Every structure is written in C-alpha cells, then in structure tokens.
Amino acid sequence: MASEVPGYSIAGFVENLDKSRCKIQFEEGPIFWIDDIDNMVETHEAICGIGTTFRFKFTDQVAAKGMKFATVIHPTARVSSKSTMGQGSLVSVQSVIAAYTTLGEHVLINRGVIVGHHTSIGNFSSVMMGARVAGDTRIGQCTYIGLGAIVKNGVTIGDHCIVGAGAVVTKDLPDNVMAYGIPARIVKENIEGL
C-alpha cells in the first residue's frame, strides 16, 4: 500500500524474528535483519503494517535505533483536516476518518474502514477491513476491532481488547476482554490483545 502513496517508495522490509528470512526477497524488495538497518536511520522512515496489537515489540526495536516513523494515508482514503494522527499510523485504501478524531501512534486503519467524528483510537490499535466505528467513541490502546465489526455511537472499548469479526458493540467494554456476536458479548476475560 505504501508504494501507492506519493512521496514514498519501498526500500525493503525488516525482519526481527528469523534471520534466515533475510536470504529471500519479498515483493521484489530485500529483507533486512533488524541489526543491519543502522545505516538507514538518517535517510529512511519505517512503518509497521502488521495487524497484531503486539507490534510495539517491533516498533520499539526500530525506535531504539533512532529511526523515525512515517504516517501513511493512501490516496483513496479521506482523513479530515480537523483530525490528527500519531507517528507510524496507517490509513488504508478507501477508509474515511471523520472530523475531530484522534488516532494514536502506530494505529492501523485497514481497507474500507469508516471512523466517525470525535472518536479516539489508542496507540497500537488495529481496525480491520470494513469495520464501522461510529462517532464520539473511544477505543483504547492495543485493541483489535475485527473484520466488518460495528461499534455504536458513544461506546468506550478498553485497552487490550478483541472485538470479533462481524460483532456489533452496543455497550462499553472493559479492558482485557474478547467480545463476539450481535450484540457483542464478552466471551473471554484477562486477555492481552491479538
């Protein structure tokens, strides 16, 4: 997706789990081992587009090296000029972010997502394809909103939550829960995210 955004080109990809993966190319680009990007810190920016709410485990390593993070908005997306986005956040194809909305750092807004006005989405949260988040809503940090989920106006969803695909959230959810169904019901507690 980033390769379709004017002003950006893909220099390659970074691996931090399995060094043997660096022997291949991905999407015609090299895969760099995390310890080998030091010479890129001053000239490149990073973006972490993986859906897990645990992506801080990767971004913390990159930030410790001093690399800055890009904030990427696909040309077909619409982000209100009255809204704000933290560093490392990504708004994908045909998504809409309404006015007075705040996206924290490293927030992933996947394809075709609609986020209403006066909404806040915390650091490292993921809103997956086709989800609809109504206005005046709060989504905590490290929370995962599944494919096609709907979050009703004025609802608060806590930190480290998972909202299942297709769920309809009509009431507040506390921290560290998994909720599924229509309407969404808590099916698991004491989770840390996805």
Task: Examine the pLDDT at 28 and tell me if it is beyond 80.
Answer: no
Q: Could you tell me the pTM of the whole model?
A: 0.93
pLDDT digits (tens, 9 = 90+) for 39-55: 999 999 999 988 888 99
pLDDT(194) > 90: no
Q: Are residues 38 and 99 in the same domain?
A: no
What pLDDT sits at residue 193?
81
Backbone angle region of 65, left / alpha / beta, with phi > 0 → left and psi within -120 to 50 → alpha: alpha
Please determine, for residue 4, whether its predicted confidence score (pLDDT) is greater than 90: no
For the ranges 48-52, 85-89, 187-191, the lowest mean pLDDT is seen at: 48-52
Q: Which of 44, 74, 106, 117 is catalytic?
A: 117
Residue 33 Cα distances to 16, 48, 97, 177, angstroms: 6, 15, 34, 34
The answer on 32 and 12 residing in a single domain is: yes
Strand order in the sheet with 162-163: 72-73, 90-91, 108-109, 126-127, 144-145, 162-163, 177-180, 185-189
Q: Do the domain assignments include residue 109?
A: yes
CB 42 within 8 A of CB 24: no
pLDDT recorded at residue 184 = 98
Contact between residue 132 and residue 111 where contact means Cβ atoms under 8 Å apart: no
Same domain assignment for residues 65 and 77:
no
At 30, the pLDDT band (50, 70, 90 cuts) reads very high
Is 105 within 8 Å of 84 (Cβ atoms)?
no
First to last CA, the chain: 22
* Residue 160 is a catalytic residue: no
**Domain boundaries, position 41:** 2-69
pLDDT score of 5: 87
Residue 97: how many CA atoms within 13 Å on its side-chain side?
A: 30
Q: What is the CA radius of gyration of the chain?
A: 17
CATH of the domain at 143: 2.160.10.10
